[in-house]
Structure 1
Amino acid sequence: MQRVVIGLSGGVDSSVAAYLLKEQGYEVVGLFMINWHDTTGTLEGDCPWHDDRVFAELVARRLDIPFHVVDLSEEYRRRVVDYMFAEYERGRTPNPDVLCNREIKFDVFLKEALRLGADFVATGHYCRRECVAAADGTEHYRLLAGVDGNKDQSYFLCQLSQEQLSRALFPVGGLTKPEVRRIAEEQHLATARRKDSQGICFVGKVDLPVFLQQKLAAKRGNVHEIRADWPKYARTAAPDDLPALAEPWRYTVRDGKKIGEHNGAHFYTIGQRKGLGIGGRRESLFVLATDVGQNVIYVGEGDAHPGLYRKALFMKAGDLHWIDPAERMRAGQRRRFRVRIRYRQPLQGAELVVCDEGGYLLFDEPQRGVTPGQFAVWYDGETLVGSGVIDR
C-alpha cells in the first residue's frame, strides 16, 4: 500500500482530500505545518494556527489516520518572509503564496514527508496532475487547471518542477467547491462549514498592509497626481519594438502635482486603489507607479487612466521557469499562449517571445496593473506550461 502524507491545514479542502485518498486505498498520514511565530509580540490580531491545528487534528481523528505536527517557521521566515520584505523594500510586489508552495510545501514539507516514509505528498489545491509518456519512454508530468474555474489554484503552483510534481497528488482538483463542501458534510468532518482562510498565507487573519506596516519602517512622502493627458502617453512604438512596449511609464515630480502624503512608498503597489486616504474625486484614484528611492507614489484618477495599462512586459532569463523542461523555448522562438499576470485574472491572449536576455509577453490587449515581482503564468489549453517573475 502506498503512503501519502497530506498537509492538513485545518481547512475543508485538505480535509476532503485526505478522505478521498483513504477511499482510494492509500495509507494516509496527516501532517500539520506551523509556518509562523510572532517572536516580537508586536503583531496585531490572533495568529490562527492554534485553531487550525485543532481542526486538523479533529479531522485526522474522524478519518482514523495518524497525525503529526512539524514546525517549519524558521525555514519559512528565511525562504519566504525575508524575501518578501526585501522585495517590498525594493518597490516590488512578491507573491508569498507562490513562494510558499515552491519553497515550503513542495520542498521542506516534502522532505519531512519522505522522513515519514511517504511515496507521495498531497494538498487541497484545486488543480490536477497528469502523467504522460514521452516518445523515448520517459514519464513527464503536466500541471493542469482545476475543474472549478472559480477556484482553480494552478497559478500558485506555477514554479513547481518535474521532481516535485512526480511526488504530488491533488485529490480535489477534479471537484467543485460545492462538491467538496457536500462531501465534508456527509462525512461529518469538523471543517465542513469552516470559512476559507483569508489574508497572508503564513499570518492568516492579519491583512498584508497591516503586517508590512509593523515590519517595515514608515516614512512620510508625497503623493503626486498624473493627469490622463500627460503628453508622454501619446508615445508610439512599432508593433515589434518589444523593449519600448514593455517599458514602464516613468514619472518625476515635475510631471504632476502634489495632492497628499503617504507613509512609505514601499507599502503601495501598482494598481492599488484602497489605502490612499484621498477623497473628493468623481472617480477613484489608483497607484500608477512607486519610486522607493525618492519615496514618492504617483496616482491617476479613474480605472481607464492610460498610466495603468501596458501592451507588453519583460521577464529576465533567470526568472523563466518551465514545468516540463522539454517545453522550454529557446532564444529566437515565439509562441502563443493564454496568460494571466495575477491570481483570478481571466486568461489573456498573448505571444511569448524569448530572447537571450529573457522573455517578452506581447498581449493582444493592453494589460492593467503590470506589477514587478508578480508572476506571469502561461497556459496551453488546460496545461500550465511555464511562468516568470515580472521584471518590468
Structure 2
Amino acid sequence: MKKRVVVGLSGGVDSSVAAYLLKEQGYDVIGLFMKNWHDDSVTISDECPWLEDSNDAMLVAEKLGIPFQTVDLSEEYKERIVDYMFREYQMGRTPNPDVLCNREIKFDVFMKIALGLGADFVATGHYCRKGTIEKNGKKIYQLLAGKDPNKDQSYFLCQLSQEQLSKILFPIGELLKPEVRKIASEQNLITAEKRDSQGLCFIGKVRLPEFLQQQLAPKDGAIVEIPSDFANYGETIPDFNSKEEELQYLSTKHTYAITDGKQVGVHPGAHYFTNGQRKGLAVGGTKEPLFVIATDVEKNVIYTGQGKDHPGLYRRGLYVKKEEIHWIREDLEISEDETLEVMARIRYRQPLEKATLYRTVSGLYVIFDNPQSAITEGQFVAWYDGPELLGSGVIS
C-alpha cells in the first residue's frame, strides 16, 4: 500500500515543489488549500490574494495529476489566531501569528482533516528537516534547521509537539531556495517564478494598523524621546542575595515616565507599536532615526530613543512563565535549579546567540552572553543545540 500524504498547497513555489517531490517518491498525494480569511477590507491591494493563491494551487495539483480541494478554516482561524492577536495587542504585547498558526491551524485543525482523509502524513513547504533517534527503546523526533541558512523556518515551528512531528514531512528541507525554483521551472509549475508571500500566515497582504483598528480604536498619545544618557542606564549593578534576584535584574525591562524625556510627536495608539520599531513614527528632525524602546498601553505613551545602539533597546535576559515553556525534546527538559547552555533567538532570521537557560520554581530565565536588542513581550524565544530546535517559550 502506498502511504498517503496530504500536502498543504498554499499556491506558492515551496509547497508546489513539496507536492511534486512526494509524488516522485511514490506517495499517494492529495493537495489541500486552506482558506483562512474572508475579510478583504483590510488587505492592501484590490486583488484578492487567497483567490489567486487557491487558483494557483489548483493549477499545480492539476499539472501534477493529484486530487485537490479547498478547506475553509476561517472560523477556527478567527477564534484561535485573530482573536488571540487582538487580545495580545490590547495588552501591549506583540504576538507571533505565524508560530501560532503552525501550532493551532496547520498542524492541528488541518492535520485532523488530513488524517480524516486517511492520510499517514501531512506535508508542507517549510524549510526545515525532521530527524528520528532511538532513546531507551523509544522513538524521538527532532526538529532540525533547514539546509538553506537564508530560508530556515524552524523558528516558526518551535511550538510543535512530538505527536505532531511524528506525522509531518518536510520534503524541501534539504534543498536551497534556488534549487526549489529550478525544480519548479523544470516541471513547468505555474508558481516557479511567483514571489514569496509576505504577511500573516495564509491571510495574505494585510495592513496591520487597519487590521487592528477593527477592534482597537485609534487614540492619540505622546511620543516621548528618552536621551541615551538617561540616569537609569548608568546605574551600578547592585549586590544580589540570590541567583534568582540576579536573573530577575538581568531580565527586567526599563520603565519610564513622561518626565524622563521630551515629547517629540503624537501617535495614533500605543498598541499599534512594538519594541524596536522604526517605521510609522512620523517624527523628523532627529540626528539619527527614532526607535521604539518601550510602550505603555495603560497611559497610551510610546517611548523612543535615537539610533539602533540606544541603550534603552538592549538587555541581557528574558523570562518565560512556567505554563508557557514548551519542549519539543521533552527528554531534555531541565528541572528546577538546573541550567543548560544553548544557542537561542528571539525572532525569525536573527542569528543564533549564546545563552544559558535557568529553570526556577516559577519559570525559565534565558540569559544571553551579549545584550539583545528589542526583546519583545508576546514573541517567542527558541533554543537550539546545533541545528536542532529543542524548545521555546513566550517572552513574558
TM category (shorter chain) comes to over 0.9
1:126 is displaced (CA, Å) by 0.1
| 2:294 pairs with 1:289 | yes
Contact preservation (8 Å) 1:4, 1:121: yes
1:203 is displaced (CA, Å) by 2.5
Report the Cα distance in structure 2 between the residues aligned to 1:387 and 1:47, rounded to whole angstroms.
34
Contact preservation (8 Å) 2:44, 2:205: no
1:299 is displaced (CA, Å) by 0.4
SS of the residue aligned with 1:131? strand
Partner of 1:94: 95
1:141 is displaced (CA, Å) by 0.3
Matched letter for residue 275 of structure 2: I
CA deviation vs aligned residue, 1:109-161 (integer Å, no higher than 9, x gap): 000001111000000000001111112x1111000000000000000000000
Contact preservation (8 Å) 2:99, 2:159: yes
| 2:83 pairs with 1:82 | yes
Report the Cα distance in structure 1 between the residues aligned to 2:104 and 2:114, rounded to whole angstroms.
14
Partner of 2:370: 365
Q: Which runs of 5+ in 1 are unaligned?
A: none
Q: Which runs of 5+ in 2 are unaligned?
A: none
| 2:25 pairs with 1:24 | yes
Partner of 1:58: 59
CA deviation vs aligned residue, 1:196-222 (integer Å, no higher than 9, x gap): 101222321223234223442101111
Q: TM-score, normalised by structure 2?
A: 0.96
Contact preservation (8 Å) 1:88, 1:267: yes
Of residues 190-199 and 30-39 in structure 1, the stretch that sits farther from structure 2 once superposed is: 30-39
| 2:152 pairs with 1:152 | yes
Partner of 2:264: 259
| 2:385 pairs with 1:384 | no
Matched letter for residue 316 of structure 1: K
Q: What is the RMSD of the two structures over their aligned residues, measured on CA atoms?
A: 1.2
Assess, with a 3 A threshold, how the Cα gap between structure 1 residues 144 and 223 changes in structure 2: closer, same or farther.
Answer: same
| 2:324 pairs with 1:319 | yes
Partner of 2:335: 330
Of residues 238-247 and 227-236 in structure 1, the stretch that sits farther from structure 2 once superposed is: 238-247
Report the Cα distance in structure 2 between the residues aligned to 1:373 and 1:160, rounded to whole angstroms.
17
Assess, with a 3 A threshold, how the Cα gap between structure 1 residues 202 and 208 changes in structure 2: closer, same or farther.
Answer: farther
Matched letter for residue 382 of structure 2: V
Structural mapping, 1:227-246, within 5 Å: 227-237=227-237, 240=243, 241-246=246-251
Report the Cα distance in structure 2 between the residues aligned to 1:42 and 1:193, rounded to whole angstroms.
26
Q: TM-score, normalised by structure 1?
A: 0.97
Structural mapping, 1:133-282, within 5 Å: 133-135=134-136, 137-237=137-237, 240=243, 241-282=246-287
Contact preservation (8 Å) 1:200, 1:208: no
Report the Cα distance in structure 1 between the residues aligned to 2:149 and 2:43, rounded to whole angstroms.
35
How many residues in Structure 1 have an aligned counterpart in Structure 2?
389
Contact preservation (8 Å) 1:126, 1:172: yes
Partner of 1:299: 304
Partner of 1:106: 107
Structural mapping, 1:114-129, within 5 Å: 114-129=115-130
CA deviation vs aligned residue, 1:297-349 (integer Å, no higher than 9, x gap): 10011111100000111110111000021111111010110000000000000
Of residues 275-284 and 195-204 in structure 1, the stretch that sits farther from structure 2 once superposed is: 195-204
Matched letter for residue 219 of structure 1: K
Contact preservation (8 Å) 2:43, 2:207: no
Contact preservation (8 Å) 1:42, 1:214: no
1:363 is displaced (CA, Å) by 0.6
Structural mapping, 1:7-18, within 5 Å: 7-18=8-19
Assess, with a 3 A threshold, how the Cα gap between structure 1 residues 185 and 216 changes in structure 2: closer, same or farther.
Answer: same
1:42 is displaced (CA, Å) by 6.0
Partner of 2:39: 38
Partner of 2:353: 348
1:47 is displaced (CA, Å) by 3.5
Assess, with a 3 A threshold, how the Cα gap between structure 1 residues 92 and 58 changes in structure 2: closer, same or farther.
Answer: same
1:261 is displaced (CA, Å) by 0.5
Report the Cα distance in structure 2 between the residues aligned to 1:154 and 1:196, rounded to whole angstroms.
17
Contact preservation (8 Å) 1:43, 1:214: no
Percent identity over paired residues: 60
Report the Cα distance in structure 1 between the residues aligned to 2:174 and 2:70, rounded to whole angstroms.
28
SS of the residue aligned with 2:63? helix
